[in-house]
Amino acid sequence: MTRPQSQRTAPLLLAPIPTEAARPFLSLLHAFAAMGDTGRAVPCSTDPDGFYHDLRVVRALAVPLCRDCPVLTACGAYADAAGERFGVWGGRDRSAAMGRAPAGPTASA
Ligand code: SF4
């Protein structure tokens, strides 16, 4: 019997963490844990779409949201170590850093 679309669960996709990024990844997890019950949330968890949008101009709007993030330093260190190549991490658009062109129509199109 096939489940209706509304009852299917999406597979959990986890990208492998490069060995050299394991320590920064643990530091990032510790930074999240240190947030504890402060009631704060990281901006990319409350409104993630802009952080991973195909359009550079949209990602650029997300970059300043990292400024007040309590895990900014650890996030950037992890992204550097892992060589993250897409999206905004630690207050930087990693796609732009890699010279990646926007995937969709430009704002001026
Ligand atoms: S610094 Fe990292 S965890 Fe914080 S909002 Fe930016 S991308 Fe998200």
Q: Name every protein residue with a CB atom under 6 angstroms from any ligand 1 atom.
A: 42-44, 51, 65-66, 69, 71-72, 75, 88-91
Domains of the chain, residue spans: 41-109
Distance (Å) from CA 5 to ligand 1 centroid: 32
The full DSSP string for 35-77 is HTTS----HHHHS-GGGG-SSHHHHHHHGGGGGG-TTHHHHHH
Which of 75, 92, 95 is the best mutation target for the ligand 1 pocket, counting ligand atoms within 8 Å of the beta carbon and taking the most?
Answer: 75
* 8 has a pLDDT exceeding 60: no
pLDDT digits (tens, 9 = 90+) for 59-79: 999 999 999 999 999 999 999
Find the range with the poorest average confidence among 24-33, 41-50, 82-91, 97-106: 97-106
Please give the pLDDT value at position 33: 92
| Structure tokens that stand for 89 in this block | 């991490």
